[in-house]
Amino acid sequence: MLHERPPSPRSEARAHSGATDRIVEALREAIVSLEIAPGAVLDKAELTARFGVSRFPVSEALNRLKAEGLVDIKPQSGSTVSLIRLADAHENMFLRRALEAESVARLARQRDPALLEELDRSLRYQQAAIQADDRIGFHELDLVFHDMLISAVGYRRVRAIVESARLMLDRVRRLLISPRRHADTFVEHRAIIEAIRAGDPDTARAAMAAHIDTVMREVEIFADTHPEVFADRP
């Protein structure tokens, strides 16, 4: 008679790791998309039932999200979604402004026809998303547009830094999603492309800097009117 062998410690570890990854990805998306609001309580018992797992992978997932700055864990008080820190937004915008402005200046010197064709196509897709009031679709196209620019420079470390800064800003930027902001973004993106097409590094640099500065100003206005979402607003 055959007997089932108990799972090995290694196979159990792999199962826990897979469950943890799944929970991290689901919770990260829910937090970044604001489906779970800043300050919301994350109840472990509720999460174990939702994901059909034990408490261990839930605890591991929350610890990983804490390391990403998305979750606060306090002994005896439980876990909550981290409030947004305006100071972090300023720092990450500073990084993006410096690197992306210099990137488009470099691209303006190169005036690569293939890149300009891709950028023009992206702009048409953005316009179509605005006309369809596809806010999530426009948000995704916005991310692709900026990645297209930074990737074209060809510096992997620069792209990694910008990507990290962008990820930390995703919640902040989603707070500003609106038809008016998307229309303004479209105009700002077009100005960047036209400066690259004209081979004008100074104008391209200024257009990107103005684009990022405008978003940061709108974040500050939002923080003034919705201080409950921010950890460093009284």
Q: What are phi and psi of 74, to 5 degrees?
A: -120, 130
Rounded to an integer, the average pLDDT of 117-128 is 98
At residue 9, the pLDDT reads 47
Q: Which of 4-18, 31-45, 189-203 has the highest mean pLDDT?
A: 189-203
Separation between Cα atoms, residue 173 and residue 167, nearest integer Å? 10
Q: Are 35 and 170 in contact (CB under 8 A)?
A: no
Contact 210, 218 (CB under 8 A): no
Across 202-229, average pLDDT: 95
pLDDT of residue 6: 55
Q: Is the pLDDT of residue 4 over 50?
A: no
pLDDT in tens, 27-71: 999 998 889 999 999 999 999 999 999 999 999 999 999 988 899
Q: How many CA atoms lie within 13 A of 194 on its CB side?
A: 8
Most confident of 163-167, 175-179, 203-207: 203-207
Nearest Cα residue to 82 out of 27, 45, 136: 27
CA-to-CA distance for 196 and 185, rounded, in angstroms? 17
Which pLDDT value is given to residue 94? 97
- The answer to whether residues 132 and 209 touch, using CB atoms and an 8 Å cutoff, is no
Cα–Cα nearest to 229, from 39, 56, 77: 39
Quickly list H helices, the chain: 9-32, 44-51, 55-67, 86-110, 113-131, 135-153, 156-175, 179-197, 201-225
Q: What are phi and psi of 71, to 5 degrees?
A: -135, 140
200 Cα distance to chain centroid: 29
Phi and psi angles of residue 219, each rounded to the nearest 5 degrees, phi first: -65, -45
Amino acid 3: pLDDT: 47
The answer to whether 86 touches 218, Cβ cutoff 8 Å, is no
Residue 193: burial class (beta carbons within 10 Å; 0-12, 13-18, 19+): buried
| pLDDT above 50: residue 191 | yes
